[in-house]
Amino acid sequence: MHDYRSMFDLSGKDALVVGAGSGIGRAGAEALAAFGARVLCADVDAGAARKTAEGIAGAGGRAEPLELDMTDTASVEAAAARAGTPDALVCTPSINVRKPLLSLTDEEFDRVVDLNLKGTFRVIRRFAPGMAERGSGSIVAFSSIRAQTVEPGQGVYAATKAGTVQMLRALAAELGERGVRVNAIAPGIVETPLTDQIKDSPEWYEAYARKTALARWAKPHEIAGMIVYLASDASSYVTGALMFVDGGWTAVDGRYMPPLPAV
């Protein structure tokens, strides 16, 4: 009989979590460490990365902080020189400019694309080759429900999240025979710094909660289980997938209310 109890065991594995300073990234780093991984807690905010690593160490886990700016190729290279080739790579950071598409400036458009899509590419481009040379590895990057469902005011964000999925699927096809799995996670509404603008409006907060089948927002730790699953041998035959953790948002039809304010 297969040793099913060991499927989630990450003992002896190294995991690099980009965006570990807060939100889903922090929860993912904590969860990976809880299952035995040594976690490199990377973030553009070195202080936040250090705080996450210290918290994991204080709970008996193994973790180290690492400064990494996804928008800066030199920063990614410097982080890679310290980190080496991890067994699992998790890339979580995103930004959004919430406004009607036709009122976006070039700078706003470029800023969202540069982090969400190109930043993910920069990180994967640097770490995936080592995994392929070794013959093993799991890459997990974050998409969103916006890869499939859109709403007014999130056009460029949705474009980057759909683009991330297709980019990852292409990489899954290219690296599958070399033992590297590549998957995307699509969270729904999660209480993180990225969603502060929505949470600060009681009307918006409640409208979003009602859109889910569970009628509530998620906490970051509720996304961490999918990160552990995709990083571990429990998902050894899963690649090129888009895994929804959205409280039923994409399964339930509905209207987006209140409407986005006019420009």
Residues carrying an active site annotation? 157
Which stretch of DSSP H or E encloses residue 191?
A: none
- Token pair, residue 63, equals 């973790």
User: What is the distance between the alpha carbons of residues 201 and 232, in angstroms, rounded to a whole number?
Assistant: 38
Q: How far is CA 143 from the centre of its chain?
A: 7
CB 181 within 8 A of CB 137: yes
* DSSP assignments along 103-146, one per residue: G--HHHHHHHHIIIIIIHHHHHHHHHHHHHHHT-EEEEEE--GG
User: What is the distance between the alpha carbons of residues 243 and 246, in angstroms, rounded to a whole number?
Assistant: 9
**Torsion over CA: 54, 138, 128, 179 (sign):** positive
DSSP state for residue 259 in the 8-state scheme = P
Half-sphere exposure for 202 (CA within 13 Å, toward CB): 0
The closest of 58, 55, 51, 63 to 17, measured between CA atoms, is 63
